[in-house]
Amino acid sequence: IIWLGQPEHSVVTTCAYCGVGCALKAEMKGNEVVRMVPHKDGKANEGHACVKGRFAWGYATHKDRITKPMIRNKITDPWREVSWEEALDYAASKFRRIQNEHGVNSIGGIVSSRCTNEEGYLVQKLVRAAFRNNNVDTCARVCHSPTGYGLKQTLGESAGTQTFKSIEYADVIMVIGANPTDGHPVFASRMKKRLRQGAKLIVIDPRRIDLIKSPHVRADYHLQLKPGTNVAIVNALAHVIVTEGLLNEAFIAQRCEDRTFGQWRDFVAQPENSPETMESVTGVSATHVREAARLYATGGNAAIYYGLGVTEHAQGSTMVMGIANLAMATGNVGREGVGINPLRGQNNVQGSCDIGSFPHELPGYRHVSDTTTRIQFEEAWGVSIQSEPGLRIPNMFDAALHGSFKGLYCQGEDIVQSDPNTQHVAAALSAMECIVVQDIFLNETAKYAHVLLPGSSFLEKDGTFTNAERRISRVRKVMPPRAGYADWEVTIQLAKRLGYDMHYSHPSEIMDEIARLTPTFRGVSYEKLDRLGSIQWPCNDHAPEGTPIMHSDQFVRGKGRFMLTKYVATDEKVTRRFPLILTTGRILSQYNVGAQTRRTENVRWHAEDRLEIHPHDAEERGIKDDSWVGIQSRAGETVLRAKVTDRMQPGVVYTTFHFPESGANVITTDNSDWATNCPEYKVTAVQVMPVAHP
Ligand code: SF4
């Protein structure tokens, strides 16, 4: 740690790591950050921050930062540093030539959930107005797209229902497929505080996460299911609630659809959904499932918190709808202490989805086929917008391999490291003619790029992020962009070269446009954000200061809709050749593909990804703690060091994915959620064997 002296002034901004969205104070001396401290008035964090927010901001000034635009004709050529003008001219001319030769739909763009709402909005506008298609998608595709789909189908809005503060009123907390201690540390502290006060805890997770047993916190039930059987468990819980008369009949009669409720009740009551029948599928004791269901339904205010262990499955959307069914059936929606709470991974996953970065939706989750909405945007932007949805990220890869998709603008997203089945992604990128990467480092995706545009870190930009509780918070510029331009200015310049002019002098004007065109954001402005500190959308004439808790009087869609959630086993089967199931997750000190945290002091706490394996499985294979192991799946193979631990159940292994050299996604498969194509990262059949030091 370098001591830079006493700070002279400070700037309040928002952490750019996870979906908690902690307010941080950058204490400055001149243009240099002396230290980062939690802001005591931040409503998401109430004066706390974790090791990432406090200590992992140094990547912003790391020597690896790209500060000059670069171009090359072929990916085998060396990079050539050029001016911004030459790089943008080159990118625009390539994109224009591709569209002339291969049609208007032959290029697309990817919006980063790490960038601001304003930057994401401009990229989707670039694609729709300058590329003239709907081929825009976001990295939320590979994490929480099933949340958007499942909650929209059941409740009518693609967002969590509560504030973080609401947990202070929960009597029963159910955590499904999430590890808040590592993934959402500041919120985990609030959760543990409530548990220490006596709230009951049900954890549904294949791994013995920290919450199961940590100082002063014990889970009342740990339903340690086999990966891939979430829907079987949620149906079994629902079966108990229905057949033992634990439904909240008054809530259902008043707030939910009669017809879909009746269909769902009859479906879950079938014996095939009973905990006893499902025991052999899930591996979880039927007695424990019955007791957990009774506790959730009758234990007072019951709140569900879930993460990627719910969404990143072949039935990710089904499981989200199953969770919504449970909450509606027991009346646990619409007030303090209850609700359905997706714990978002990246800082702006919620926001990137809100502002129209899916290929089928314009800002505010309105379908592109909706003529009224489309006309509104066409009039505002002065273009015509396609009424058919564009390509999702995996469809872009497939189309590239079939020769119909040739160009990609990729903003702040390392798709080669973060998307599943690396070999498939690499082959698709190799087949394209122009890839423009806008990023702060030369990442794995840049190896396939033809144009590299330097990105700006969160310390160099003005804008907003939206956290997991729909809270919009200001991001404030602490230092000038290292490469001269902020990301939003670069997008405008690229659009201009493609013949479409956008006129903004500051990101606040972009937010004003979002507010004008999006009913749920209608009352949002930088002036109000500065005055209130932050705002939870919807914010409009009905709720001028925002909406902490949604669906309080009625669901956004009117009556709550129950959905049938038939359990279907994943195609990814264990066999004699691949007898173990690999599942993945995060660790506290590192973040996603690690591009930022690996370049900070946090690397001292976690310098490599390891494979966790149960002592029984390790002994059977002659694997010792700390020894090297080879992991092989149907998609590929990699090598890691082993950590022998009873956190894992026999038959299941686990790793994090923070280091490119460990190549976790070299072995994950192409399977994905049936509704959204969210990859099934959480279930890969593998074999693990000892190997010599690589
Ligand atoms: Fe940043 Fe999340 Fe840590 Fe808060 S909990 S400081 S938002 S990484």
Tell me whether residue 550 is in a domain: no
Q: Please check whether residues 53 and 95 belong to one and the same domain.
A: no
Question: For residue 462, how far is its CA from the centre of ligand 1 (angstroms)?
Answer: 19
pLDDT tens digits along 383-403: 999 999 999 999 999 999 999
Residues 405 and 282 in one domain: no
Atom of ligand 1 nearest to the CA of 21: 7
Q: How far is the CA of 348 from the centre of ligand 1 (A)?
A: 12
Helix (H, G, I), strand (E, B) or coil at 292: helix
Task: Write out the H or E segment, with its range, that includes residue 643.
Answer: strand 637-644
Alpha carbons within 13 A on the beta-carbon side of 624: 3
Q: Which amino acid is at 443?
A: N
Mean pLDDT of the region 296-300: 98
The pLDDT of residue 669 is 84
Ligand 1 atom at minimum distance from 186 CA: 5
The lowest-confidence range among 72-86, 130-144, 267-281 is 130-144
What pLDDT was estimated at residue 1? 46
Q: Domain for residue 276, yes or no?
A: yes
Atom number in ligand 1 closest to CA 20 = 7
Confidence of residue 481 (pLDDT cuts 50, 70, 90): very high
DSSP letter at 539? Answer: -
How many Å lie between the centroid of ligand 1 and the Cα of residue 602?
Answer: 14
Q: How confident is the model at residue 656 (pLDDT cuts 50, 70, 90)?
A: confident
Burial of 674-690, coded b for 16+ CB within 10 Å and e otherwise, reads ebbbbbbbbbbbbbbee
Which one-letter amino acid corresponds to residue 614?
H
Per DSSP, the three-state class of 21 is coil
Name the β-bridge partners of 292. Answer: none
Least confident of 7-21, 74-88, 364-378: 7-21
> Under a CB-based contact definition with an 8 Å cutoff, are residues 22 and 53 in contact?
yes
- Residue of 50, 182, 475, 658 with the most ligand 1 atoms within 8 Å of its CB, for mutation: 50
Contacts of 560 (CB under 8 A, 6+ apart): 154, 155, 255, 256, 257, 324, 328, 333, 551
Backbone angles phi, psi at 411, to 5 degrees: -95, 110
Instruction: Give residue-wise pLDDT tens across range 196-245.
Output: 999 999 999 999 999 998 888 999 999 999 999 999 999 999 999 999 99
Q: Of 507, 536, 565, which residue is a domain's last?
A: 536
Task: Compute the distance from residue 423 Cα to the ligand 1 centre, in Å.
Answer: 32
| Ligand 1 probe mutation, 14, 17, 605, most atoms within 8 A of CB | 17
| pLDDT at 603 > cutoff 80 | no
Q: From ligand 1's centre to the CA of 186, what distance in Å?
A: 6
- Among 22, 467, 587, the mutation site with the greatest number of ligand 1 atoms within 8 A of its Cβ is 22
Same domain, 508 and 489: yes
Q: How far apart are the first and last CA of the chain?
A: 33
State the CATH number of the domain containing residue 465.
3.40.50.740
288 and 415 both lie in a single domain: no
Ligand 1 atom showing the smallest separation from residue 187 Cα: 5
Q: Which of 471, 504, 536 is the last residue of a domain?
A: 536
Closest listed residue to residue 169, CA positions, set 557, 561, 537, 548: 548
- Listed in sequence order, the residues at least 6 apart from 489 whose beta carbon sits closer than 8 Å to its beta carbon are none
Residue 644's closest CA among 677, 678, 618, 670? 618
Identify the weakest region by mean pLDDT among 492-506, 602-616, 646-660.
602-616
Token representation of residue 482: 């290292």
Nearest CA to ligand 1 atom 3: 50
Are 618 and 638 contained in the same domain? yes
C-alpha 42/C-alpha 21 separation (Å) is: 9
Shortest-distance Cα residue to atom 1 of ligand 1: 53
Pocket test for ligand 1, best of 35, 186, 347, 469 (most atoms within 8 A of CB): 186
Is residue 153 assigned to a domain? yes
Please give the number of the atom of ligand 1 that sits closest to the Cα of 53. Answer: 6
The rounded Å distance from CA 689 to ligand 1 centre is: 36
Confidence (pTM): 0.93
Is 557 part of a structural domain of the chain? Answer: no
Size of the chain in residues: 694
Q: Is residue 347 classed as helix, strand or coil in its secondary structure?
A: coil
Query: Which domain CATH number covers 639?
Result: 2.40.40.20
**What is the CA(471)–ligand 1 centre distance, in A?**
14
Residues 414 and 490 in one domain: yes
Does residue 560 lie in a domain region? no
CA 69 to chain CA centroid, Å, is 29
In sequence order, the β-bridge partners of residue 434 are 407
Ligand 1 midpoint to CA 156 (Å): 29
123 and 159 part of one domain: no
If you measure from the C-alpha of residue 187 to the centroid of ligand 1, how many angstroms do you get, rounded to a whole number?
Answer: 9
Instruction: Give the distance (Å) from ligand 1 centre to CA of residue 80.
Output: 37
For residue 263, is pLDDT > 50? yes
pLDDT band at 114 (very low <50, low <70, confident <90, very high): confident
Domain match, 319 and 192 both: yes
The per-residue pLDDT for 141 is 83
Q: Taking 80 as the threshold, does the pLDDT of residue 660 lie above it? A: no
Tell me the CATH number at 20: 2.20.25.90
Instruction: Annotate 205-246 with DSSP letters as a single string.
Output: -SS--GGGEETTEE-SEEE-PPTT-HHHHHHHHHHHHHHTT-
Query: Which of 12, 13, 18, 589 has most ligand 1 atoms within 8 Å of CB, for mutation?
Result: 18
Same domain? For 593 and 661 the reply is yes
Phi and psi for 163 in degrees, rounded to 5? -95, 160
Structural tokens at position 486: 């902020």
Protein residue closest via CA to atom 2 of ligand 1: 18
Cα three-residue angle 365-369-372, rounded to 5 degrees? 80
Share of the chain above pLDDT 70, in %: 95
**Structural domains in the chain (count):** 4
> For the segment 12-71, what is each residue's pLDDT rounded down to a tens digit?
999 988 899 999 999 988 888 889 999 999 999 999 999 888 877 878 888 889 999 999
**Cα of 347 from ligand 1 centre, angstroms:** 8
Nearest CA residue ID for atom 4, ligand 1: 22
Cα gap 174→188, rounded to integer Å: 13
- Whether residues 253 and 203 share a domain: the answer is yes
Using the atom order of ligand 1, give the atom closest to the CA of residue 347.
7
Q: What pLDDT score does 589 carry?
A: 58
Q: What is the mean pLDDT of residues 80-108?
A: 98
| Residue with the larger pLDDT of the pair 694 and 606 | 694
Going from the Cα of 228 to the center of ligand 1, the distance in angstroms, rounded, reads 29
Ligand 1 centre distance from Cα of residue 53 (Å): 5
Question: What CATH number corresponds to the domain at position 303?
Answer: 3.40.228.10
Let me know whether 531 and 645 are in one domain. no
Residues with CB under 6 A from ligand 1: 15, 17-18, 20-22, 45, 49-50, 52-53, 184-186
CA 505 – ligand 1 centroid, Å: 30
Q: How confident is the model at residue 693 (pLDDT cuts 50, 70, 90)?
A: confident
What is the whole-number distance in angstroms between the Cα of residue 648 and the centre of ligand 1? 26
For residue 529, is pLDDT > 90?
yes
Same domain, residue pair 364 and 475: yes
Is 574 a member of any domain?
A: no
Residue 588 C-alpha to ligand 1 middle, in angstroms? 10
Distances (CA, A) of 192 to 166, 181, 317, 476, 588: 14, 9, 28, 31, 16
Q: Which domain holds residue 640?
A: 580-690
Mean pLDDT along residues 345-353: 89
pLDDT-derived band at 352 (thresholds 50, 70, 90) equals: very high
How far apart are alpha carbons 147 and 49 in whole angstroms?
Answer: 26
Cα 486 from Cα 621, distance rounded (Å):
52
pLDDT of residue 593 exceeding 60: no
pLDDT tens-digit map of 542-576: 999 999 999 999 999 999 999 999 999 999 999 99
Whether 562 is covered by a domain: the verdict is no
- Going by their DSSP bridges, the two strands 200-204 and 221-223 should be labelled as parallel
Residue 184 alpha carbon, nearest atom of ligand 1:
5
For residue 564, being part of any structural domain is answered with: no
Rounded mean pLDDT of the chain? 93
The closest-lying atom of ligand 1 relative to the alpha carbon of residue 49 is 6
What single-letter amino acid sits at 578?
A: F
Tell whether omega for the bond before 538 is within 30 degrees of 0, i.e. cis: yes
Which residue from 12, 20, 57 has its CB within 8 A of the most atoms of ligand 1, so it is best to mutate? 20
User: pLDDT tens digit string along 436-454?
Assistant: 999 998 888 999 999 999 9
Q: Which atom of ligand 1 is nearest to the CA of 54?
A: 6
Report the distance separating Cα 486 and Cα 504, nearest Å: 13
- Last residue of one domain, picked from the residues 306, 325, 342: 342
